[in-house]
Structure 1
């Protein structure tokens, strides 16, 4: 928990938050004018500030008039740290809030690779492409999520060793390579990038490696296969492709012990659920 400000439990914070959620910009402006420190306070959980709630849903709905509310919250810029600005961008990217993201960029909040990662980690492919068009630099992980094969290939030398930096070379065919390719493969699957997934598999990515990760609490950290994520985000053709290359249909995530078919069902992708259940012999 940040130490610079106390966690708020006051009604004024709640009033300001309700104004944000309802798009009551005049009310929000009035509340902040009378209580400027509210912009620096944390919620009861000590996790978010008022600024961050512009990008967060409440009862299934996002705040209205987020651009106007953003201007009000940024009016006293000295109270909004660079860290909090970046956190807002990442939340907006992760929740697919393109208009809010645009408003942030217009307000001078600069997107970076972490913002791009947040979008791709949430399967917000189109928004991630928008960020790249705005000159956010693409790295190895981003190239996988965006399906940029040329960019991916540029990280490998003639011996198929992975060169993430001049002083960071990972040899082909090693366990270190397998580990290095886990997250890029997952991000490719979240964003439906079949060619990128195939490229990474050829370089040594293991479709089922997450199941043998060590040093993590299975009931705290969510680990799941590329097949899980492709199923959750509705990438039917990619699901079939992954199975053809050895993805385990009965693989289970580490947090709730669920299969890819169950993930597909929860996300409303009936065609994927039926397909996976058919292959597993469980019928409907």
Structure 2
């Protein structure tokens, strides 16, 4: 068998497994995995055009060379919904991955957990918490919830803490645990403090922003762990939270900084999103400076 043929067959097997997953058909998924031993440990090295059409540039970034288990997260978006039994289907995929490559399972689990925590489809489908649980029960470490906070998923971030995750500065402030913030801020790196400001903007927490700014966090610096392409002001605009925008502008946030992906200013973001009130405020703020 040529390498090209092998890659084509692997692509077809992935598609068969995903068809069963998308249909919520647990029996069919088990059958595909039984017919193709090793599929749980394989990576889709050269996906067909079908997947590129669905997820685009994600295949060149965080979804490069995906394992089958990663697809259980629904992130990147392939369709609008995950099946109601997504957690049970994920458990079947985990079982196959453990059988085929027990040593590499944790890496699969933890990347999938980040995809679930930050993915909108899992949340909108009502299966995000159940998926997090099945991954943690299988051995994924809950982490600090930063991926969930960066997506504005406060419920997921809180659940990860309940399941043994580590409370960081961003989590404490976004979840309203201000009594723990001084200790955490004292031990946080500059990057962690900056990520906390970005997370506060994403989650529309002007009170958390005020706390961080009083602590001396740079109002204009970009994050390091989440959304490094834009400033806190961009993210407050994206969250549609005028009080958060006002708090940052009043603290001296620059209005002319452009994000590194779309090359837009915060005002450009507001106009693009149709946020007329925020756009008017930013226009007036620019005129005053």
* Shorter-chain TM-score tier: 0.7 to 0.9
Instruction: Name the structure 1 match of 2:282.
Output: 276
Secondary structure, aligned partner of 2:149: helix
The Cα of 1:84 is off from its aligned counterpart by: 0.6
Tell me which residue corresponds to 1:51. Answer: 69
Structure 1 residue 69 corresponds to structure 2 residue 98: no
| 1:138 Cα deviation from its structure 2 partner | 0.4
Q: Partner residue of 2:253?
A: 247
5+ unaligned residues in a row in structure 2: which ranges? 1-5, 47-58
User: Quick check: 2:143–2:165 contact (8 Å CA) kept in 1?
Assistant: no
What per-residue deviation string (whole Å, max 9, x for no partner) do you get for residues 118-144 of structure 1? 101212122212222334220223224
Q: Tell me: CA distance 1:10–1:254, structure 2 relative to 1, closer, same or farther (3 Å).
A: closer
Q: SS of the counterpart of 2:143?
A: helix
Q: Does 1:105 align with 2:133?
A: yes
Cα distance between partner residues in 1 of 2:178 and 2:276: 30
CA contact (8 A) 2:143 2:160 kept: no
- Alignment: residue pair count: 251
Q: Of residues 162, 177, 195 in structure 2, which corresponds to 1:148?
A: 177
RMSD, aligned CA: 3.0
After superposition, the Cα gap between the structure-2 partners of 1:224 and 1:235, relative to the gap in structure 1 and judged at 3 Å, is same
For residues 244-266 of structure 1, the C-alpha deviation after alignment (integer angstroms, 9 at most, x for no partner) is 11122232112221011333344
1:174 is aligned to none
Higher relative helix content? 2
> Distance between the aligned counterparts of 2:167 and 2:161, measured in 1?
7
Cα displacement (A) at 1:181: 2.8
Displacement of 1:146: 2.7
Contact 2:209 2:247 survives alignment (8 Å): no
Residues 116 and 262 of structure 1: is their aligned pair in 2 closer, same or farther, counting only changes over 3 Å?
same
| Equivalent residue for 2:201, pick from 189, 198, 204 | 189
| SS of corresponding position for 1:74 | helix
1:208–1:105 CA distance, 2 compared to 1 (3 A): same
| Alpha-carbon spacing, 1:150–1:94, altered in 2? closer, same or farther (3 Å) | same
Question: Does the CA contact (< 8 Å) of 2:128 and 2:156 recur in 1?
Answer: no
C-alpha contact (below 8 Å) 1:93/1:115 kept by paired residues: no
Shift of 1:243: 1.2
* 1:207 paired residue number: 219
**Partner residue in 2 for 1:41:** 42
Report the TM-score when normalising by structure 1. 0.76
Relative to structure 1, is the Cα distance of residues 88 and 256 closer, same or farther in structure 2, using a 3 angstrom cutoff? same
1:84 aligns with 108
Report the Cα distance in structure 2 between the residues aligned to 1:35 and 1:232, rounded to whole angstroms: 44
Question: Relative to 1, partners in 2 of residues 1:265 and 1:69: Cα closer, same or farther, differing over 3 Å?
Answer: farther
Q: State the secondary structure of the residue aligned to 2:95.
A: coil
- SS of equivalent to 1:209: coil
Q: Which residue of 2 aligns with 1:124?
A: 153
* 1:262 lines up with 2:262 in the alignment: no
With over 3 angstroms needed to count, the CA separation of the structure-2 counterparts of 1:93 and 1:78, relative to structure 1, is same
Q: 2: distance between equivalents of 1:279 and 1:127?
A: 35
Give the TM-score of the pair, scaled to structure 2: 0.74
SS of aligned partner of 2:269: helix
